[in-house]
Amino acid sequence: MQNRKLSAWVDEVADQTRPDRVVFCDGSEAENRTLIQGMLSDGTLLALDGERYPNCYLHRSDPTDVARTEHLTFICTRDKEDAGPTNNWMSPDEASQRVGRLFDGAMKGRTMFVVPYLMGPVGSPSAKVGIEITDSPYVVASMRIMTRMGRVALDALGSSEDFCRGLHSLGDLSPERRFVCHFPAERLIWSVGSGYGGNALLGKKCFALRIASTMARDEGWFAEHMLILGLEDPGGRVTYVCAAFPSACGKTNLAMLVPPASQKGWKVWTVGDDIAWLRIGRDGRLWAINPEAGFFGVAPGTSSRTNPNALATLARNSIFTNVALTPEGTPWWEGFDGPVPPVLTDWRGRRWTPDSKEPAAHPNSRFTAPARQCPSISTEFDAAAGVPISAIVFGGRRARLAPLVCEARGWAHGVYLGATMASETTAAATGKVGVVRRDPMAMRPFCGYNMADYFRHWIELGENRAAFPKIFHVNWFRQSEAGALLWPGFGENLRVLRWIVARVRGEAKGHDTPVGIMPTDGELDTSGLGVNDEAMRELFAIDRDAWLEEARDREAFLESFGSRMPEALLRQNRDLMARIRA
Please give the positions annotated as active site.
Answer: 249
Question: Diameter of the chain by CA atoms?
Answer: 71
Is 364 within any annotated ligand binding site?
yes
Is 68 within any annotated ligand binding site?
yes
Is 366 within any annotated ligand binding site?
yes
Is 144 within any annotated ligand binding site?
no
Is 475 within any annotated ligand binding site?
no
Is 89 exposed, middle or buried, given 0-12, 13-18 or 19+ CB atoms closer than 10 A?
middle
Q: DSSP H helical segments within 339-410, as ranges? A: none
Is 438 within any annotated ligand binding site?
no
Q: What angle (nearest 5°) sits at the alpha carbon of residue 221, between those of residues 218 and 227?
A: 135
Is 511 within any annotated ligand binding site?
no
Helix (H) or strand (E) holding 41: helix 29-42
Instruction: Say how many residues make up the chain.
Output: 582
Is 203 within any annotated ligand binding site?
no
Is 205 within any annotated ligand binding site?
yes
Is 434 within any annotated ligand binding site?
no
Is 365 within any annotated ligand binding site?
yes
Q: To 10 degrees, the CA torsion angle through 203, 206, 208, 209?
A: 170
Is 545 within any annotated ligand binding site?
no
3-state secondary structure 160-216: CCCCEEEEEECCCCCHHHCEEEEEHHHCEEEEECCCCHHHHCCHHHHHHHHHHHHHH
**How far is 46 from 60, CA to CA, in rounded Å?**
9
Q: Tell me which residue of 218, 212, 171, 213 sits closest to 190, measured CA to CA.
A: 171
Is 198 within any annotated ligand binding site?
yes
Q: To 10 degrees, the CA torsion angle through 379, 385, 386, 390?
A: -120
Q: To 10 degrees, the CA torsion angle through 36, 272, 198, 32?
A: 10
**How far is 422 from 418, CA to CA, in rounded Å?**
9
Is 55 within any annotated ligand binding site?
no
Q: Count, in order, helices (H) and strands (E) of the chain.
A: 16, 31
As annotated, the binding site for substrate includes 68, 196-198, 247, 364-366
As annotated, the binding site for Mn(2+) includes 205, 225, 274
As annotated, the binding site for GTP includes 248-253, 366, 397, 490-493
As annotated, the binding site includes 68, 196-198, 205, 225, 247-253, 274, 364-366, 397, 490-493
